[in-house]
A and B are shown apart, each in its own frame.
Chain A
Amino acid sequence: MGEETGALPAAQPAPLPLRRFTRGAAGGPQTRRLLIDRATTVGVVLCTAAAVFVLSAILLHVLANGAGALNLAFFTERPLPIGEVGGGVAPALLGTLMMVGVAALMGVPTGIGTAVYLSEYGRGRFATLVRFTIDLIAGVPSIVVGVFVWAVLVRSVVGHFNGLAGSVALAIIMVPIVTRTVEEVLRLVPDTLREASLGLGIPRWKTILAIVVPTAKSGVITGTVLSMARAGGETAPLLLTALGNQFFNFDLLQPTASLPVQIYNYAVAPYDDWHTKAWGAAFVLIVVIGLLSFITRRVTGGSLRG
């Protein structure tokens, strides 16, 4: 930035906005400092603008390309073979709902139970170990969770790809999200509430279930919804476990379709009609996940991160 110093000779007063900071001394080194300050300000604004721009670009693309694919058949019919016009992604919608629902039945109680333990009893080595493993699970790549469940439930126990394995994989992914969110809000419940309840002779477990958890209700709901939104968008573990299905399937011991895997299969196939449907499915996925995140955030004022 050396040349900028020459651009503004020392004798010349600096432009007004700069002078505000210089306290009269518009010498060379001062100007240089101010220019660096300006440049970095512009830099951080550009960084932020870049992030917002990319987000807008992706969202607009999905919305613009996906809207055209949506019609009644898209939501009610099963995928048709190549060449046939029409069809939809209803089995994938159904499969995602079923698998995420079953995953929530396993993952949410585990997460809430763990959070209650950590918040109300969690002291000592075991609690530290639990916290550390929660962080570890959050960091395990989702495809590795998929490999684990594939090796156990698909290859060993059931013998073929099945939706239940998909649910188990999703449940494992949900646990750390639920635990962290719920533990955070349980900690915000004032101890005076607990003391008041215990002081009335109410046993601890009733205090927790009737006073502490209901007080933290919004956080419990946030954690549940966010974890389900996250699970609904997971692809890699489902690819290894639930695989997919072109037909309606209500039996979770059979291969089960899901919206993300359907998007993947449609996108990598060489047919324009399937590409359109992939964008359409992406539209549905992003609107549902976006709305869930937005509403929970609006209602609870919480953070989006698990």
Chain B
Amino acid sequence: MTSISDHPAAHRGPRLRRRDVGDQLFRTVVTAFAALPPLIIVGLTLLLVVDSWPALSHSGLSFVTTTAWDPVHLEFGAAHYVFGTLMTSAVGLVLGAPVAIGAALFLAEYAPKWLREPVAYMVEMLAVIPSIIYGLWGFFVLAPLMRTYVEPFLKDYLGPIPVVGALFTGPAIGRDMLTAGVILAIMILPTIAAISREIIAAVPDQQREGMIGLGATKWETIAGAVLPYARGGIIGGVMLGLGRAFGETMAVTMVIGNASKAISPSLFNPGYTMASAIANQFNEADSEVYFSAVVAVGLVLLVVSGVVNGAARLLVWRVAKGPQGLRI
């Protein structure tokens, strides 16, 4: 950059320069960078739609309503993949969300100051571990434990109960929907815990003081004044965790067994999720329709997780009073 006096704008007349060329250029450059994320999303969605069109037009609505996935006869029904994703994520949510919210409450309301940061760091560390390492651990450590101890126990004690028992029937094999759900519970825990903790910490102290002033115990304060206030944000955090569970691939692929043709309620059945089906089949897609069908599974996954994530963001945003960062 040159000094102001030999800047072209300086010679234009008595008025000082109004616009710096560098400013215009810089603004254009960063705006161009900022235009990339929207382009990526639009391009990604369009391309998945275009590439999955042959399969979707080939199979029609039966793509998401039937379970006939037969590449040899070019029949593609992915309902059991969708079912696997929903079922394992539901198990992950039921097991993981309460523990995550409990941990968030401990960190935000109970923990003494010296303990708070180290423990929060350890919980966040769970989010840093790559999913392949969860998969490795699940494959060699968790799945045998589930097969030998947990699943026989569940079968003996919960199996005979009328409705719930249907979830725990069949031979315990360890690599099944239940184990995948447990792995997902661990993996979504840090997401839910971190967001819930932030939301709980943001609850104004007047809320607590009011309850304490009425003679409430710590728990009554939390249940009566803190949690109702934080509810929307916590639900948002749980949904973000759900979004993560939907898309998780490697850890689930390694423990879910990857073998299913039907939809059955038992968690002891091996299965597929949409993500694990893609990971297992992308390399076998020899025909154009088969390739398209695999992409179509990706599209369904994108739509499902996009809806959940979008709704979650809105909830978290609303609690945090509008999209953060709108500068005034």
Contact = CB atoms under 8 A, between A and B. Distances in A.
Partners in one complex: yes
Contacts of B240: 139
Interface residues of A, number: 101
A290 interface: yes
A147 B325 contact: no
Among A121, A128, A147, A235, which residue has the most Cβ atoms of chain B within 10 A?
Answer: A147
Given A55-B122, A147-B48, A205 B302 contact: no
A232 B323 CA distance: 30
B44 interface: yes
A206 B22 contact: yes
Contacts of A147: 48, 278, 282, 294-295, 298
B210 interface: no
B302 A141 contact: yes
B103 interface: yes
Given A48-B106, A135-B313, A175-B37, A21 B250 contact: no
Contact of A58 (B1, B51, B133, B189): B133
Given A133-B38, A141-B246, A121 B20 contact: no
Given A113-B33, A205-B20, A175 B306 contact: no
Interface string A233-255: 11110011001000000000000
B310 interface: yes
A244 B217 CA distance: 58
Contact of B217 (A33, A132, A148, A175): A33
Given A129-B38, A304-B121, A282 B133 contact: yes
Nearest to B124: A304
A201 B4 contact: yes
Given A134-B37, A143-B275, A267-B136, A43 B102 contact: yes
Query: What bracket does the count of chain B residues touching chain A fall in?
Result: 35 or more
Contacts of A260: 130, 132, 250
B41 interface: yes
Interface stretch (B24-32, B62-70, B260-268): B24-32
Contacts of B35: 130
B37 A233 contact: no
A73 interface: no
Given A121-B30, A205-B20, A304-B127, A236 B133 contact: no
B250 A235 contact: yes
Contacts of A293: 125, 128
A190 to B, nearest CB: 14
A116 interface: yes
Interface in B195-233: 217-220, 222
Nearest to A154: B282
A142 B136 contact: no
A34 interface: yes
Interface in A138-158: 139-148, 150-152, 155
Among A33, A140, A146, which residue has the most Cβ atoms of chain B within 10 A?
Answer: A140
A136 B306 contact: yes
Contact of B301 (A55, A144, A239, A285): A144
A113 B34 contact: yes
Contacts of B131: 233, 235-236
A40 interface: yes
Contact of A44 (B110, B141, B325): B110
Interface string B112-139: 0000000101111111111111111101
Contacts of B278: 143, 146-147, 240
Contacts of B29: 113
B106 A45 contact: yes
Interface in B6-57: 20, 22-23, 25-27, 29-38, 40-41, 43-44, 47-48, 51
Given A48-B111, A130-B35, 7 more contacts: A37-B217, A45-B110, A118-B34, A131-B323, A147-B282, A187-B327, A205-B20
Interface of B: 1, 4, 20, 22-23, 25-27, 29-38, 40-41, 43-44, 47-48, 51, 98-103, 105-107, 109-111, 119, 121-137, 139-141, 186, 189-190, 193-194, 217-220, 222, 240, 243, 246-250, 254, 275, 278-279, 282-283, 291, 294-295, 298, 301-302, 305-306, 309-310, 313, 323, 325-327
Interface of A: 21, 33-34, 36-37, 40-41, 43-48, 50-52, 54-55, 57-58, 61-62, 109-110, 112-114, 116-123, 126-137, 139-148, 150-152, 155, 172, 175-176, 179, 183, 187, 201, 203-206, 208-209, 229, 232-236, 239-240, 243, 260, 263-264, 267-268, 275, 278-279, 282, 285-286, 289-290, 293, 297, 303-305
12 contacts: A21-B217, A47-B106, A123-B326, A136-B306, A140-B302, A151-B47, A203-B20, A235-B131, A264-B254, A275-B140, A279-B136, A304-B121
